Amino acid sequence: MIIDILTLFPEMFEGPFSLSILKRAQAKGHVVINLHNIRDWSGNKHKNVDDYPYGGGAGMVMMVEPVVKAIEELKSKISYDEIIYLSPDGELLNQSIANQLSTKQNLLILCGHYKGIDERIRAHFITREISVGDYVLSGGELAAMTLTDAIVRIIPGVLNDETSALSDSYQDNLLSPPVYTRPYDFRGLKVPDVLLSGNDKEIAQWKYEQSMERTRQRRPGLLDGET
């Protein structure tokens, strides 16, 4: 998979993308992540990419020209399955969307900033808008990191144990069951005996019951197919 990211702040990605699972995924060749500075397509000497909004109002708006030039140049080199804009009013990211996007070959992600991007970009060049939550961030960079991580970790071969992602919360519209590790007894707090029984059938049943109960208590809407 190739993921191209258009951003005003490529430096923000250096830490998260050079550690842990995302680092291993790139090292193994499962994903290529390219960061592109939108300012490289700015037409003025100061590399400005924003201007005041027509009609007045507070804040600045990312200009149509540099963003469209960036998208068009990248599209001339590669065919994208989706061109995604991170926006608070996009569809809410969930595990189903991450699963779906993980099967794609090439993705282009646009990070907005300021008060957003010129509407003409959204109307004519973006194929999908995604939100990471009902709140506003200073820019799309953190959202792009979240989306990228959610996608990449479930690409086959990325995790050492490929069954791990299948047992994550939300994969079956259920939250994950409680997990434990050594020591068995910590200050009188003990691991449930069933997990030490060696009986795979009983353990699986216990995990399912715990997932159901946790989901019923914390996210009951998931049991009705809600997000």
What is the predicted pLDDT for the residue at 112? 95
For 205-226, write each residue's pLDDT tens digit: 999 999 999 999 999 998 987 7
Measured distance CA(194)–CA(142) in Å, rounded:
40
Q: Find out whether 139 and 111 touch, Cβ atoms under 8 Å.
A: yes
Fold of 2-152: Alpha/beta knot (3.40.1280)
For residues 43-64, one letter each, b for 16 or more C-beta atoms within 10 angstroms of the residue's C-beta and e for the rest, the string is: eeeeeebbeeeeeeeeeebbbb
For 109-135, write each residue's pLDDT tens digit: 999 998 899 999 999 999 999 999 999
Across the range 12-20, mean pLDDT stands at 94
Cis peptide before 16 (omega within 30 of 0): no
**2-152 against 167-224: fold identical:** no
Measured distance CA(151)–CA(158) in Å, rounded:
11
Say yes or no: domain 167-224 is CATH 1.10.1270.20.
Answer: yes
What is the predicted pLDDT for the residue at 5? 98
CA distances from 9 to 39, 204, 219 (A): 9, 45, 35
Domain range list for the chain: 2-152, 167-224
Across the range 179-194, mean pLDDT stands at 95
What is the predicted pLDDT for the residue at 173? 83
pTM of the model: 0.87
Q: Write down the mean pLDDT value for the chain.
A: 93
For 53-80, write each residue's pLDDT tens digit: 999 988 999 999 999 999 999 999 999 9
Is it the case that residue 168 has pLDDT exceeding 60? no
Across the range 83-103, mean pLDDT stands at 96
3-state DSSP assignment of residue 26: helix
